[in-house]
Amino acid sequence: MIFGLAFLGNQVAENPGADETFAMGLGPGEIRMAARLLREARYAWALTGAGVSTASGIPDFRGPQGLWRTHDPEEVSTIDGFHRNPQAFYSFWLWRFQNMRKAQPNPVHKLLAALEARGLLQGVITQNIDGLHQRAGSRRVLEVHGHVRSATCLSCGRKYSMEWVAGEVEREGLARCACGGLVKPDVVLFGEPLTPDFEVAQREVAKADLLFVLGTSLTVWPVAGLVPLALGHGARLIIANAEPTPYDLHSDVLLRGDLVVMSELLARVLEVDLAGS
Specify the pairing of strand 141-143 against strand 123-126: parallel
Catalytic residue among 145, 147, 233, 250: 145
CB 251 within 8 A of CB 19: no
Q: What are phi and psi of 132, to 5 degrees?
A: -70, -25
Closest CA to 174 of 96, 100, 72, 91: 91
Is 145 marked active-site?
yes
Return the half-sphere exposure (C-beta side, CA atoms, 13 A cut-off) of residue 152: 9
23 bridge partner residues? 253
CB 160 within 8 A of CB 169: no
Query: Measured between alpha carbons, how far is 239 from 175 in angstroms, rounded to an integer?
Result: 39
CB 55 within 8 A of CB 48: no
CB 31 within 8 A of CB 23: no
Query: Measured between alpha carbons, how far is 101 from 162 in angstroms, rounded to an integer?
Result: 10
Q: Which residues contact 199 (CB under 8 A, 6 or more apart)?
A: 1, 2
Q: Where do the H-state alpha helices sit in 85-196?
A: 86-102, 107-117, 132-136, 162-172
Active-site amino acid positions: 145
